[in-house]
Amino acid sequence: MRRLPPRTLRGQLTAGLVLLLALACLAVGIITALSLRGFLMGRLDEQLTASGGRFAASLEHEAVPDADNRPDTRGQSESTVGARLLNGAVTEAAVVDDAIDRPLRLTSGDRRALAGVPVDGQGHSIHLSTLGAYRVTAVEGDDKDTLITGLPLHPVEETVHRLEAVEAILFGAALAVTGIAGALWVRTSLRPLQRVTARAAEVAGLPLASGEIAMPGPLPDTDPRTEVGQVGTALNHMLGHVEDALTQRQTSEERLRHFAADASHELRTPVANIRGHAELALRHRGAVPAEVRRALERIDGESRRMTRLVDDLLLLARLDAGRPLEHEPVDLTLLILNATDDARAAGPGHRWLLDLPEEPVTVTGDAHRLQQAVGNLLANARTHTPPGTEVTITLSTDRAGTTVSVSDNGPGIPEELRPEVFGRFVRADHSRSRSTGSTGLGLAIVHAVITAHGGTVTVTSSPGHTAFRLTLPAA
């Protein structure tokens, strides 16, 4: 499996530091190895030059050496090779072995290698099949022959390899120590950045969408001379702007909430007076023209509708303000039965079905507000589905809590309306007549009431099926 490169900044910096050090160590190792090899090669060349081809020249005087006439091996180190060439062909070749020369058996390849050495007195490297790598030099003899003297390259290669092994161990240890120390150093250096990340994650976890938010304090030690300090300073400025914006939004929402509550409260009295006068005029025993009666009936109907609107706005304002609800045992089964009876009376053209458990279900909450939430869901199903629609009310309970589901097989909610279906004054058809009395606040009240009880409201909809689910927490 292919290993992925480190993704964290700390890992990248540590890996980069170790990689740069490894490249530096590799460069130093190559340079020192080449330098040592060149130095040792130069020493070999100096030895070969100092020998002057003496050992190779002595080979021509006797094919079989005896006590009086033997090749000159004085000053020649062990494994020194000597060869004499005449007209490009090797005539004699020997190697010093324990200070005694012995004939050297050459292959055709060895003979070609010796014949190919330039006669310039300079050192050249060749390979002999029986002896290995050699450094040789060729000079011209007195008899118009070529004298070749060579020294083995094995000591040079062994010394260079030993240096490479030592460097590999030292550089490996240095890389390991540097990697550990570098990781600790980078970790220490990035601690301010970790504080920035933690503070950003803390702010991201705050419920910024609504309510009064307590923003965390600014980051300390934001040195503008460092990159991390500049990021911290920018984050502090951003948090300050966000806090100002949230404060202004909260102030605006509080003003709007107080205005809605005050306006709703103040409107209740004049609306009640208008409604009372309209009812009083309709009870007049004398003859009332049809046009006047029709106008009075419209005034009465609209005043009733306005009363409901004012009550709904006042309820939402109180719930937004966090007014405490009642916390008493509520027989949810009986509540659903009563709400279904009311819905059946208001919408006889619909089919109302119940799916309730055998045992009564009791929750803790505000009975009046829960009755209003369930009634609004049933009214919503009745208002926005045609006659003959089947509406099913289901009550279930488990360890997580109690769930009330209101589903129907109507046309469904338009897709573009679903994200804001629980918003205020949201209507499926903005151009339709308001003669039905719908204010667009029914589902908003459902959401506010259930949320105030610590529950949740969800909706799923498609053509032929729509389901609202109210979930109340377990007692």
For residue 89, the tally of other CB atoms under 10 A from its CB is: 11
CA-based max dimension of the chain = 170
Q: How many DSSP H helices and E strands does the chain contain?
A: 10, 13
Q: Are 340 and 412 in contact (CB under 8 A)?
A: no
C-alpha span between 289 and 319 (Å, rounded): 45
Query: Which CATH architecture group holds 328-473?
Result: 2-Layer Sandwich (3.30)
- At 260 the pLDDT is 65
- At 378 the pLDDT is 93
- At 99 the pLDDT is 54
For residue 289, the tally of other CB atoms under 10 A from its CB is: 8
- At 430 the pLDDT is 47
- At 434 the pLDDT is 46
For residue 220, is pLDDT > 50? yes
Question: Can you tell me which residue has the tokens 């300390």?
Answer: 220
* Half-sphere exposure at residue 317, Cβ-oriented, CA atoms within 13 angstroms: 18
Mean pLDDT of 255-261: 66
For the stretch 372-405, pLDDT in tens is: 899 999 998 998 899 999 999 999 988 888 999 9
Which of 225-234, 356-365, 462-471 is least confident? Answer: 225-234
Question: What burial class does residue 424 get, using C-beta atoms within 10 Å of its C-beta: 0-12 exposed, 13-18 middle, 19+ buried?
Answer: middle
The per-residue b/e assignment along 333-359, b for 16 or more CB within 10 angstroms, e otherwise, is: bebbeebbeebeeebeebebeeebeee
Which of 114-123, 218-227, 296-305, 331-340 is least confident? Answer: 218-227
Please state the domain extents for the chain. Answer: 1-51+154-189, 55-152, 207-323, 328-473
Q: Are 445 and 373 in contact (CB under 8 A)?
A: yes
For residue 297, is pLDDT > 60? yes
Nearest to 217 by CA among 239, 234, 195: 239
Tokens at 125, concatenated: 């490297």
For residue 273, is pLDDT > 80? no
Q: Is the pTM of the predicted complex or chain greater than 0.85?
A: no
For the stretch 62-96, pLDDT in tens is: 444 444 455 566 567 778 888 888 888 888 888 88
For residue 436, is pLDDT > 60? no
C-alpha span between 41 and 256 (Å, rounded): 93
Query: Which CATH architecture group holds 207-323?
Result: Orthogonal Bundle (1.10)
Mean pLDDT of 125-141: 89
For residue 424, is pLDDT > 70? yes
- Concatenating the DSSP letter of every residue in 173-225 gives HHHHHHHHHHHHHHHHHTHHHHHHHHHHHHHHTS-TTSS---PPPPPS---TT
C-alpha span between 265 and 256 (Å, rounded): 14
Mean pLDDT of 306-326: 73
Return the percentage of the chain with pLDDT > 90, whole number. 23
- CATH number assigned to the domain covering 55-152: 3.30.450
Mean pLDDT of 247-253: 73
- At 64 the pLDDT is 46
Mean pLDDT of 106-111: 88
- At 202 the pLDDT is 75
pLDDT interval class at 415 (50, 70, 90): confident
Nearest to 124 by CA among 103, 102, 139, 145: 139
Return the percentage of the chain with pLDDT > 70, whole number. 84
- At 6 the pLDDT is 60
For residue 274, is pLDDT > 60? yes
Nearest to 370 by CA among 339, 395, 398, 343: 339
C-alpha span between 461 and 468 (Å, rounded): 9
Q: Are 304 and 272 in contact (CB under 8 A)?
A: no
Nearest to 342 by CA among 311, 378, 306: 378
- At 209 the pLDDT is 67
Q: For all residues of the chain together, what is the average pLDDT?
A: 81
Tokens at 92, concatenated: 């004699």
For residue 364, is pLDDT > 60? yes
